[in-house]
Structure 1
Amino acid sequence: MVNHRYLGSSGLKVSEITYGNWLTHGSQVENDTATACVRAALDAGITTFDTADAYANTAAETVLGAALAGERRASLEILTKVYWPTGPKGPNDSGLSRKHIMESIDGSLTRLRTDYVDLYQAHRYDTETPLTETMQAFADVVRQGKALYIGVSEWTAEQLRAGHALSTELGFQLVSNQPQYSMLWRVIEPEVVPAARELGMSQIVWSPVAQGVLTGKYAPGQPVPAGTRATDAKGGASTIKRFLTDDVLTRVQGLRPIADELGLTLAQLAVAWVLQNDNVAAALIGASRPEQVAENVKASGVTIPRELLDRIDAVLGDAVEADAALTAAHAPTTRPS
């Protein structure tokens, strides 16, 4: 069964393997299959489910809400996000303005079939809305009982500190950040993680298997397999392409002896690796088949000895990206439309 960890310095526990439905529910897989994946997650002991209003333009929330219907609400942690465009994508259908936040939380609650979410997250930093306006809106969402905790996603260390200071002043606390993090993508380690530790915040990390590259299914010098993330024109292909070089793929194959030594698959090794970071509360996993969930949860509770962590670093070498500036560089500079 899946272990649980505290989220930041709060009293909330989340499953260290968290089920996320980006790029799957409402888009890549049929609803019946999506529901089967959610049932597999519940059967494996996963209690935490992460989504966002923008995933499949709100359809992912609807599918997740239906899949969780009938479950004891107090036994679940439901996470969603706000920022990216939704609906008809009008001038106020994105960002972190008070208008968009207050309207979006109500829409998310309706689609998720719940009176509250456990964690409501700023999906990116909004450069066009005063941070005070955003944080006041989040404070009101908490006071209204529509969200129990507030988090963010892909914020820089400086933004975390500014947001945390305002949240404390307004009587609530930012408890988490949701960044990309994997053996290959470590840009949060130099600045974001130290700031989060200082502020009592955890990471809920997405793409621990680097969009599937760390599963080993992409072979150097070979065409990408049909039906994989690399062929998904709806978003998967654009996010994975940075890793699809022969050098990276060769190095990933070099991790197999380490995974074998631990009795893990490459995917399980990748998920277990991010969980070795004590600032990581949860690793987000997605699935297009129920059996993928059952396999990924085997990474929970795994301890990777220091010697093997060092061997992983040696195998991956300069294929690892750890430039702290990339968090800001990949952030939107204007509100999306």
Structure 2
Amino acid sequence: MKYRKLGRSGLKVSEVGLGSWLTYGTAVEQQTAVDCIKYAYEKGVNFFDTANAYNRGESEIVVGKALEAFPRNSYVLATKVFFPMGEGPNDRGLSRKHIVEQCEASLKRLGVEYIDLYQCHRYDTDTPLDETLRALDDLVTQGKILYAGVSEWSAVQITNATHIGRKLNLRPLISNQPIYNMLVRYIEKDLLPVCDKEGLGQVVFSPLAQGILSGKYKKGQAIPPDSRAANDEINRWINSYLKDEVLHCVGKLDGIASDLGLKLSQLAIAWVLRQPGVSSAIVGASRVSQVEENVQASAVELTTDVLKEVDAILEEINGFVPIW
């Protein structure tokens, strides 16, 4: 496993991280989740990502329980705040009240004394940005979080946040967590250049496009019964990728991977990591075998010729916009 600095900070995260969206505390049995996290840790993964909103805290509980077996200073634990955690008017968003209260709740669910990376899960248009940034900075001062980041913020929002932070002499944001994969590339236009300028690293989610880039879905073939797409509780996002034109190109990409002696998932993760602005690719896993396959992508170096071949295939579906 290789490691990269997270933005301009001194924090180093594994190139492949393990996330828990739609898996741990939701669709995967607790023991399986523990086994996946343990295996990932043993293979060098030090970056584990969750969120308070994942099944209303259940994911944090499972992740925290699994990480109990390891020294606290040996891993980087990330969680998030923004989405509703109750029915009250203050049970959502990025107000000081919600951030502070949910940080305390996350610490209890995770069973830790501090969170390494606390992320604003989305941008809050109802709360002044300086209020949000001051609340995060205060949590750092109190030792409850070590670093702050954001998720799915636009280039303009990140620019505004960094400028306000400098004006108020606050500790800088160090990361953004956007979706990024071969099929969803919007961050390349504006977001990556802005984050590079402002010192934020990317910890990208869904590098396998909800499993489409795992190679298990084939054009003209039935959906595998044990796959995410077959689970009506969590297949809302993946179904938008299941288009003939997309699967046709995925088949071609699978051929490139095979020629290189790789799994398609390994090619897809290595492709994401080709970007110097990407610090870690967060994968999901419902089986240990998936973790085993995905972590090997950290060792893959793609040549210029391979990247050109991949881009030529992706150009065929340029403009495809899935629901996510």
**Normalising to structure 1: TM-score of the pair?**
0.93
Distance between the aligned counterparts of 2:164 and 2:45, measured in 1? 32
Distance 1:145 1:170 in 2: 18
For 2:237 and 2:252, how far apart are their aligned partners in 1?
23
Q: Which amino acid aligns with 1:24?
A: T
Counterpart residue number, 2:209: 210
Distance 1:152 1:89 in 2: 24
Offset at 1:321?
Answer: 4.3
- Letter of the aligned partner of 1:288 in structure 2? S
Counterpart Cα distance in 2 of 1:271 and 1:63: 25
Matched residue, 1:135? 133
Structure 2 CA distance, aligned partners of 1:218 and 1:260?
A: 16
1:270 corresponds to which residue? 268
> Residues 26-175 of structure 1: matches in 2 within 5 Å?
26-86=25-85, 88-168=86-166, 169-175=168-174
Shift of 1:165: 1.6
Q: Distance in 1 between matches of 2:105 and 2:46?
A: 22
Structure 1 pair 309–122 and aligned structure 2 pair: CA distance change class (3 A): same
Structural RMSD (CA):
1.6
How far is 1:256 from its partner?
A: 2.2
Q: Distance in 2 between matches of 1:218 and 1:110?
A: 39
8 Å Cα contact 1:185/1:320 also seen in 2: no
Query: Is the partner of 2:274 in helix, strand or coil?
Result: coil
2:134 and 2:170 in contact (8 A); partners too = no
Deviation at 1:157, TM superposition (A): 0.3
State whether residues 53 and 82 of structure 1, in contact with CA within 8 Å, keep that contact through their aligned partners in structure 2. yes
Give 1:303 shift.
1.0
Give the letter aligned to residue 299 of structure 1: A
Once residues 70 and 260 of structure 1 are traced to their aligned partners in structure 2, the CA distance between those partners, rounded to angstroms, is 37
8 Å CA contact retained: 1:177, 1:202: yes
Cα distance, 1:321–1:44 mapped onto 2, change above 3 Å: farther
Per-residue deviation at 1:312? 0.5
AA partner of residue 240 (structure 2): R
Residue identity in the other structure for 1:283: A
For 2:307, the aligned partner's letter is L
SS in 1 for 2:170: coil
- Residue 25 of structure 1 corresponds to 24
* Residue aligning to 1:333: none
SS at match of 1:155: coil
Which AA in structure 1 matches 2:265?
Answer: A
Secondary structure in 2 matching 1:5: strand
Aligned to 1:335: none
Question: Contact 1:216–1:249 at 8 Å: present in 2 too?
Answer: no
The answer to whether the Cα contact below 8 Å between 1:109 and 1:115 also exists between their aligned partners in 2 is: yes
Displacement of 1:206: 0.3
Aligned residue identity for 1:176: S
The equivalences for 1:278-289 within 5 A come to: 278-289=276-287
Counterparts in 2 of 1:201-240, with a 5 A limit?
A: 201-234=200-233, 236-240=234-238
Tell me what 1:193 maps to.
192
Q: 1:322 to 1:137 in 2, by over 3 A?
A: farther
Contact 1:187–1:322, Cα closer than 8 Å, also in 2: no
Q: What SS is found at the alignment partner of 2:235?
A: helix
- Within the candidate set 259, 262, 272, 1:261 is matched to 259
Q: Could you tell me how far apart the structure 1 residues matched to 2:248 and 2:106 are?
A: 42
**What's 1:334 paired with?**
none
Deviation at 1:92, TM superposition (A): 1.3
Q: Shift of the alpha carbon at 1:320?
A: 3.8
Query: Distance in 2 between the 1:250 and 1:318 partners?
Result: 10
CA-CA distance at 1:222 after TM superposition: 2.6
What code does the residue aligned with 2:254 have? R
Q: Is the Cα–Cα contact under 8 Å of residues 249 and 313 in structure 2 kept in the other structure?
A: yes
Distance in 2 of aligned mates of 1:242 and 1:194: 28
Q: Distance in 1 between matches of 2:205 and 2:285?
A: 13
Relative to structure 1, is the Cα distance of residues 32 and 175 closer, same or farther in structure 2, using a 3 angstrom cutoff?
same
Stretches of structure 1 that go unaligned for 5 or more consecutive residues are 331-337
Give the Cα–Cα distance (whole angstroms) in 1 for the partners of residues 70 and 295 of structure 2.
Answer: 20
Q: Which secondary structure does the structure 1 equivalent of 2:174 belong to?
A: strand
Structure 2: which 5+ residue stretches go unaligned?
none
